[in-house]
Chains A and B, each alone.
Chain A
């Protein structure tokens, strides 16, 4: 435990003395703000439209959670898919190119200390990013009355999805010495994760319904949507734990593999 926090603290410090952390945080704030303003504008014009047509029953179903915050969280999870690889790309690959891997592996640390320390650093950093996301629904609370529970569980969804990105990024970074390659592998894996539901639908509609269902389960989509609807389901928590755990296990194997060669 002590070692995990030592590794994580060092990693975070390095992230914050390099421009990466600030570039990611500022770019993300701008993008998040933009998406939020556009979302509010779209919601507004929708309300205006429905009022004009006096569609009161439709107006009654319109609410901030489903028609604004949900979309916003959804787009944030996609924006973060582009940014998180930039944060995680150097976690392991730079240790190899710096030669510091040799220091870590000859210190009285276990491989898990290293892997969990690095994952913790990445996860804490994206938690800050998700904190930035939380600011925007906060504004809505000042002017409207979204549901607290639903908003909170949606935010938890964004957080868990981002932690999944970090675990995948750790793995990608651990199998290369180049940060650029680490970025690209992470990015492609995350895009694949995003496309999984579509691929799964092909299977469900075609000859392989079981495979389709399995792929659907593997994608973050359904689990994320459940949380977005305000359902904090144990099975979804298990899903995130399994995916994150599996990628950390792969990362551990990749770090350890220096010793097999």
Chain B
């Protein structure tokens, strides 16, 4: 469903993402893991077509993000780190607007909106103005806009950041539900997080990104087989790079 080939993003001299490749099959739930500033958001933004990669290419549901951009974007539901909401709109008019710009056909629109609101438990607040909602509700509205056009691929950037434990539980439950559906309801999901427990709870596979590079790509079962923990791996992977960089710098100085 998702094919990334050598995605790179450079800003002048700064390399934000450096040759990241991976592929995700239908129905998989993959966690993007990495410290802040590792390039998770940039990678997601390239997949969604918000930022063009400096190098490399990607395909979403068989559509190239460049050559077939509109079809690729139609196949994606995207929840950026801050949910893209218009505070002055009501919940249902906002989700209806998103359904329109995502090309949900007119006849199916009302039903699609109702379904998205239902799934995100927003039916009771549908006529409330978004600006008056709590953070947890706003996050759910963000999720509702991502799923309203039943996209095969969902890309969620830190979907639980800044929520309280109960809200986190709700959002996680919802994501698990979206991944478990049948037919059109079965979504392929990439979500980023720096909360390890979260990734462990929702995802079956982990891609670890550190300093713009993919360092680990394996299933959680594999990674934790010998009694190891994700914490250990995370610390080891992010630390090894620092040590390697330090020794490289030190070695350079000595010679």
Contacts and interface: CB of A to CB of B under 8 A. Distances in A.
B74 interface: yes
A103 B88 contact: no
Given A6-B97, A13-B89, A14-B89, A105 B49 contact: yes
Interface stretch (B31-39, B78-86, B214-222): B78-86
Q: Kindly name the residue among A3, A7, A99 whose own CB sees the greatest number of chain B CB atoms within 10 A.
A: A99
A199 to B, nearest CB: 39
Nearest to A117: B101
Contacts of A103: 78, 80, 84, 98, 145
Taking residues whose C-beta sits less than 8 angstroms from the other chain, chain B's interface range is 20 to 34
A219 to B, nearest CB: 37
B73 interface: yes
B101 A7 contact: yes
Q: Kindly name the residue among B11, B50, B74, B89 whose own CB sees the greatest number of chain A CB atoms within 10 A.
A: B50
Contact of A106 (B48, B71, B82): B48
A105 B69 CA distance: 11
A101 B50 CA distance: 9
A234 interface: no
A14 B97 contact: no
Nearest to A105: B50
B48 A98 contact: no
B52 A259 contact: yes
A102 to B, nearest CB: 5
A106 B97 contact: no
A100 B101 contact: no
Contacts of B84: 98-103
B131 to A, nearest CB: 10
Contacts of A106: 48-50, 73, 76, 78
A109 interface: yes
B51 interface: yes
Taking residues whose C-beta sits less than 8 angstroms from the other chain, chain A's interface range is 20 to 34
B100 interface: yes
Contact of A14 (B48, B71, B88, B100): B88
A13 B93 contact: yes
Contacts of A54: none
Interface string A85-119: 00000000000001111111111111000000000
A115 to B, nearest CB: 14
Given A13-B93, A99-B80, A18 B88 contact: yes
A17 interface: yes
Interface string A11-49: 001100110000000000000000000000000000000
Interface in B36-55: 45, 48-52
B70 interface: yes
Contacts of B102: 107-108
B87 interface: yes
A51 interface: no
A107 B104 CA distance: 12
Nearest to B99: A6
B97 A99 contact: no
A105 B80 CA distance: 12
Interface in B84-117: 84-89, 93, 97-98, 100-103
B86 A108 contact: no
Contact of A104 (B85, B87, B101): B101
Given A98-B84, A103-B145, 14 more contacts: A10-B86, A14-B89, A98-B87, A100-B86, A101-B84, A102-B45, A102-B80, A103-B98, A106-B49, A106-B73, A106-B76, A107-B98, A107-B101, A108-B70
15 contacts: A3-B101, A6-B101, A7-B101, A10-B89, A13-B93, A14-B88, A99-B80, A102-B50, A103-B98, A106-B48, A107-B101, A107-B102, A108-B101, A258-B51, A259-B51
Interface of A: 2-3, 6-7, 10, 13-14, 17-18, 98-110, 258-259, 261
Interface of B: 11, 45, 48-52, 70-71, 73-74, 76, 78, 80, 82-89, 93, 97-98, 100-103, 145
Closest 3 CB pairs of A and B: A103-B84, A108-B70, A100-B84
